[in-house]
Structures are given as structure tokens and as C-alpha cells.
């Protein structure tokens, strides 16, 4: 890889690390503060925080890195042909490091409360959460394609549409699955807190859901030709 390309990739990957750090610090931090404060934030408040921080990071860093902040999204962009393969691993590593750093700082700041915001299936029903995480990520990725990549979409509303989607999905499915839709978001609390129960599903299900969205939007956009 040429030196100038390395510099660009490093800068973009760093933006992904920063964005994912802020996402996990604010989102899982809200879960932890809600526990510490006796429910002052509330479930709807937590959902609002997740949606708001995603929207904010898209508007803040989207013009630098594309604002993936999610390995499932990065892989979906790659398989759909909108993202070069040589950037996939740096992005996923950066996203993971950002999430892990956020969880480590939350542990230091707030202590070991609320499982550090880890995502765990309700009543250990992993199959239920597996199916729901596929569907939730499918919906999220469809919104990303439709609002963020399709040239026919209204300009400037992608961050709002994607943030609202994350917030509403967290609101209505968060109590069941944790509404992760993001392997990096789940990795941070799992690694730092040593909470690995059913962690595999929070990688596999979001990736499957995002890939299903690739197939569906490929059809809806005439093989992606209408997007470009």
C-alpha cells in the first residue's frame, strides 16, 4: 500500500475508533448510570441516548470515515461493493478497540455495575435473541442503504434516520436482546467485564442481518445501479 493510502486509512480507522468509543461510552454508560441512579435515566432514556449518539457521530465523523462504527455495517458495505477490502480489517479492529477502551474507562469510573451494559438474551433464550438481532440489524442496514447511500434519498437526513432507527429498536427490543445490532458494541462490555454468555450470537446475528439487507437492497436498487 502506498504511503499516502496508509495515512488515509489510518486517519479513517482512527475516526472509527473515536466514534465507536463515544457510542459505547455514552450508550452503555447510560445503562450503568441508570442502575447506579435507581432508574433515573429509564429504558426510554437509554434508547434515546443510543439513538442520539449514533446520529451525532454520523454528522460529526461521517465525512471522514463513512461513520460505520459497526463491524456488521463495514462488512455489508464491503460485500455490496461500496467499500474496499483492504480497509475492512483496519476498520473492524479500530471499532473493537474503541469499544473496549470505552468499557474499560466506564469500569474505572462507575465500577462493575449493570454488567457494564453487556448484551445478554432475556432468560437465556439465545434462539429468540438470535432471530431478533438478525431482524433488528436487517432493518438498520436497510435504513442505512436507503438514507445514507442511495442518491435518490433526501440529502442530509441520513444521521437522523439512522439514529431514530437505533433508538426505536432499542426502545422496543432492548429488554429482550439488548438491541445490540453491533458486534463492537457488545464486545467492549463482554471483554472488559468477562461476560461471554452467548456473546457469539451478537457477532453472527448482526452480520447475517446486515447481509440479508444487502441482498434485499440489491434487488430494490436494480443491482445497486440506481444508488450510484
Q: In tens digits, what is the pLDDT along the chain, a chain of 228 residues?
A: 566 556 668 999 999 999 999 999 999 999 999 999 999 999 999 999 999 999 999 999 999 999 999 999 999 999 999 999 999 999 999 999 999 999 999 999 999 999 999 999 999 999 999 999 999 999 999 999 999 988 888 889 999 999 999 999 999 999 999 999 999 999 999 999 999 999 999 999 999 999 999 999 999 999 998 786
Distance separating the N- and C-terminal Cα atoms of the chain: 27
Sign of CA dihedral 32, 38, 40, 44: positive
Comparing C-alpha atoms, which of 99, 95, 81 is closest to residue 26?
99
Q: How far apart (Å, rounded) are the C-alpha atoms in residues 217 and 211?
A: 10
Model pTM score:
0.95
How does DSSP assign 130-172, residue by residue? Answer: HHHHHHHHHHHHHHIIIIII-TTSPTT-HHHHHHHHHHHHHHH
Amino acid at each position: 500500500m502506498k504511503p499516502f493510502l496508509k495515512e488515509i486509512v489510518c486517519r479513517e480507522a482512527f475516526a472509527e475508533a473515536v466514534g465507536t468509543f463515544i457510542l459505547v461510552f455514552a450508550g452503555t454508560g447510560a445503562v450503568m448510570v441508570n442502575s447506579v441512579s435507581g432508574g433515573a435515566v429509564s429504558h426510554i432514556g437509554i434508547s434515546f441516548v443510543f439513538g442520539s449518539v449514533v446520529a451525532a457521530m454520523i454528522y460529526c465523523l461521517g465525512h471522514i470515515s463513512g461513520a460505520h462504527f459497526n463491524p456488521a455495517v463495514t462488512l455489508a458495505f464491503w460485500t455490496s461493493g461500496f467499500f474496499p477490502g483492504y480497509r475492512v480489517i483496519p476498520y473492524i479492529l479500530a471499532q473493537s478497540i474503541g469499544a473496549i477502551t470505552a468499557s474499560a474507562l466506564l469500569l474505572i469510573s462507575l465500577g462493575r455495575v449493570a454488567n457494564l451494559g453487556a448484551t445478554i438474551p432475556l432468560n437465556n433464550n439465545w434462539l429468540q435473541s438470535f432471530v431478533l438481532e438478525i431482524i433488528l440489524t436487517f432493518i438498520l442496514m436497510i435504513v442505512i442503504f436507503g438514507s445514507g447511500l442511495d442518491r435518490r434519498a433526501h440529502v442530509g437526513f441520513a444521521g437522523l434516520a439512522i439514529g431514530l432507527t437505533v433508538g426505536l429498536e432499542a426502545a422496543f427490543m432492548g429488554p429482550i436482546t439488548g438491541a445490540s445490532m453491533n458486534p463492537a458494541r457488545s464486545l467492549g462490555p463482554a471483554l472488559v467485564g468477562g461476560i461471554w454468555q452467548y456473546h457469539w450470537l451478537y457477532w453472527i446475528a448482526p452480520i447475517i442481518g446486515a447481509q440479508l439487507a444487502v441482498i434485499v437492497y440489491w434487488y430494490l436498487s436494480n443491482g445497486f445501479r440506481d444508488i450510484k
